[in-house]
Structure 1
Amino acid sequence: MHRAAQSPPLHHPVPQHFSTVPQLRSPPPPPGSAQSQQLGYGGNPYQQQQGGNIGNAFGAYGQFMNDPTAQVAAQFGQTAFKHGQEYVEQNIGRYVNVSALKYYFNVSNFYVVNKLFLVLFPWRHKPWSRKQAVGANGQELRYLPPRDDINSPDMYIPVMALVTYILLSTLVAGVRGKFNPELLGYTATIALGVVIFEIIALKVGCYLLSISSQSQLLDLIAYSGYKFVGIIVTIAIAEIVNGGKGTGGWVGWLVFIYTFLANSLFLMRSLKYVLLPETAANSGGPMQTDTRVKRNQRTQFLFFYSYLVQLFFMWLLTRP
């Protein structure tokens, strides 16, 4: 007997039972939207981490500022800074009159532009006398600040011209391939030395000629710095036109002669009220009329300073 062929057993899939049903979530909103910012979705994990760090930092800063010890330390720091500022002002006030120095920096853009034009083109300017106004007590006359009087000396233009001259001289040396880090200090020393020498010479001359004024020193310092305006113009034009040859070319010499004469005339007209007391006396100033001999001596001294001294120092400072 033949056994019938047996078919293979059938295997039915065994159903699987899940203890939990998976939850379906909607995809995150696109990055950069307001909803993504509210839900905390960032452009990348680094941005999410960075935002968390910033939040933690602000939270720590808020906790620190709410700390009573930190508040006491902040108040102590503010008090110490205030007392330190008062100490510095009191000690500087022993040597420098801060209120008087602020007077020379009381300028405006309109004044600066017109003053530069006056220094470079003084030929047709009138009048040269300084304006005065009644003081707070109703009797004393005081000069108006530079903002209100074009003929008033200021410190802003001389200081900025001095700094510009130092930087321009160093730049020109760099263009010529002669730059040296020590050149900045050397140029600044020469420029400041010239100004200090001028002030000492003027003070000695004023002492010998019996010239006194309450604001004489600061006025002389201001006027001694106006020469740097002409020096800057001379160096810049000569360097551009002569192609790096400095003031040696004929164009450089022409510009130098013009700026020198303009600066000399400007000083001759401006320093009259300081070195010629008669002019100030006639306009109600504090100085008194002196003898004719003294007046001639002061006029000669003013001419010597405005032309001969300025010629030498301007030539020295414009040399390459």
Structure 2
Amino acid sequence: MQRPTTYGQSPPLHHPVPQHVSTVPQLRSPPPPSQSQPQSQNYGNPYQAQQGGAPNGNAFGQYGNFLNDPTAQFAAQFGQTAFKQGQEYLESNVNRYMNISMLKHYFNVTNSYVINKLFLVLFPWRHKPWSRKPDPVRQGLYLPPRDDVNSPDMYIPVMSLVTYILLSSLIAGLRGQFQPELLGSKAATALIVVVLEILGLKVGTYILSISNDSQLLDLVAYSGYKFVGIIVTIAVSQSVNGGKGTGGWVGWGVFFYTFLANSLFLMRSLKYVLLPENNPGPAASGMQTDSRAKRNQRTQFLFFYSYIVQLVLMWILSRA
């Protein structure tokens, strides 16, 4: 039975029910490219595009591919070969003018050798023997300086030359006369003296027909031992005279002592270079007479070099 509608009341309102519900789409990242996809589709990662879709975004894979490239391997091998050939060319040209292996022999020293050698240069009066010891392994060669105190070396002459330059500059500084150019002038004076001395020795050995494979380096080494006596002379003289000079009876006394010690050291040491032993055997008497005359000339030359030349050079260097 229907309820009668009454006048004055509105009918009930009905809300429309939507028939379709729209959903908001969810944002998702695209799936990673598979190996079968071409390289042109890898737009997200430029390194993967260069690596042909390398996984995990490996940025260094391209360098591994570069090293595995045959062209890169050929370039590396070519560079190594060129460097090796250049090194061999440099060594061959340097050895043409200087034997590097022989030069290393002269720097093969020890602390005990340096001390004993300095004592020998300054006090050679009772030293025996003076002959060098031959190398039992290498025939025709001598033992290195570390095994034979009579062997010449380059370490003491080089260090003595440097010490002489620094000591002279120090003394000039104590006097208030130091200038930067003084280092160069002292070094130039010392080097000029040594070069002139070596040239004179080479001319004398050529005239006297003295030949020795290692005589040049030996003569260079022996010419540098004079700086030991010069350093002692300058140091003692400056200490006694209060830095006023190398004169006075103390300075002259030390100078003559170091000069005589250096001269005796050279006379005894250079005998095997300038006075080689002659073994004429069954040679004729004329050849023996000629050998005896040459030996006398070599003895006079050795005396002139050891005493007269060293006196002049040591005086110049000690006064410079």
Mapped to 1, the partners of 2:153 and 2:261 lie a distance apart of 18
Cα distance, 1:84 vs. partner? 5.7
- The aligned counterpart of 2:202 is 203
- Structure 1: stretches of 5+ with no match in the other structure: 1-62, 283-287
Q: Is the 8 A contact 1:128 1:270 kept in 2?
A: yes
Q: Once the two structures are superposed, what CA deviation does each residue of 1:191-222 show, in whole Å capped at 9, x if it has no partner?
A: 01111101110011111111111111110000
With over 3 angstroms needed to count, the CA separation of the structure-2 counterparts of 1:200 and 1:239, relative to structure 1, is same
Give 1:156-305 correspondences, 5 Å limit: 156-278=155-277, 291-305=291-305
Q: Once the two structures are superposed, what CA deviation does each residue of 1:266-310 show, in whole Å capped at 9, x if it has no partner?
A: 0000000111112x769xxxxx98622111111110000000000
- The aligned counterpart of 2:111 is 109
Larger radius of gyration: 2
- Asked if residue 310 in structure 1 is aligned to residue 318 in structure 2, the reply is no
- The aligned counterpart of 1:57 is none
SS at 2:246's partner residue? helix
How many residue pairs match? The answer is: 249
- The aligned counterpart of 1:119 is 121
- Structure 2: stretches of 5+ with no match in the other structure: 1-58, 281-286
With over 3 angstroms needed to count, the CA separation of the structure-2 counterparts of 1:281 and 1:103, relative to structure 1, is farther
Cα distance, 1:90 vs. partner? 3.1
Mapped to 1, the partners of 2:244 and 2:265 lie a distance apart of 29
- Asked if residue 153 in structure 1 is aligned to residue 155 in structure 2, the reply is no
- The aligned counterpart of 1:94 is 96
Q: Once the two structures are superposed, what CA deviation does each residue of 1:154-180 show, in whole Å capped at 9, x if it has no partner?
A: 111101111111111111111111111
Mapped to 2, the partners of 1:257 and 1:95 lie a distance apart of 37
Mapped to 2, the partners of 1:319 and 1:101 lie a distance apart of 32
Q: Once the two structures are superposed, what CA deviation does each residue of 1:216-245 show, in whole Å capped at 9, x if it has no partner?
A: 111000000000000011111111111012
Q: Which stretch has the larger CA shift, 194-203 or 126-135?
A: 126-135
CA RMSD of aligned residues (A): 2.9
With over 3 angstroms needed to count, the CA separation of the structure-2 counterparts of 1:244 and 1:82, relative to structure 1, is farther
With over 3 angstroms needed to count, the CA separation of the structure-2 counterparts of 1:181 and 1:297, relative to structure 1, is same
- The aligned counterpart of 1:132 is 134
Cα distance, 1:248 vs. partner? 0.9
AA matched with 1:198:
E
Cα distance, 1:125 vs. partner? 0.2
Mapped to 2, the partners of 1:171 and 1:130 lie a distance apart of 38
Mapped to 1, the partners of 2:104 and 2:147 lie a distance apart of 14
Q: Is the 8 A contact 1:130 1:149 kept in 2?
A: yes
| TM-score (normalised: structure 1) | 0.71
AA matched with 2:301:
F
AA matched with 1:231:
I
- The aligned counterpart of 2:3 is none
Mapped to 1, the partners of 2:279 and 2:185 lie a distance apart of 43
SS at 1:318's partner residue? helix
SS at 1:291's partner residue? helix
Q: Once the two structures are superposed, what CA deviation does each residue of 1:95-124 show, in whole Å capped at 9, x if it has no partner?
A: 111011111111111111100000000000
With over 3 angstroms needed to count, the CA separation of the structure-2 counterparts of 1:281 and 1:200, relative to structure 1, is farther
Q: Is the 8 A contact 1:134 1:141 kept in 2?
A: no
Mapped to 2, the partners of 1:277 and 1:83 lie a distance apart of 41
Mapped to 2, the partners of 1:162 and 1:101 lie a distance apart of 18
AA matched with 1:120:
L
With over 3 angstroms needed to count, the CA separation of the structure-2 counterparts of 1:144 and 1:276, relative to structure 1, is same
AA matched with 2:210:
I
Q: Once the two structures are superposed, what CA deviation does each residue of 1:40-85 show, in whole Å capped at 9, x if it has no partner?
A: xxxxxxxxxxxxxxxxxxxxxxx99x96579x9xx89x95876665
With over 3 angstroms needed to count, the CA separation of the structure-2 counterparts of 1:121 and 1:81, relative to structure 1, is farther
Identical aligned pairs, as a percentage? 71
Cα distance, 1:94 vs. partner? 2.0
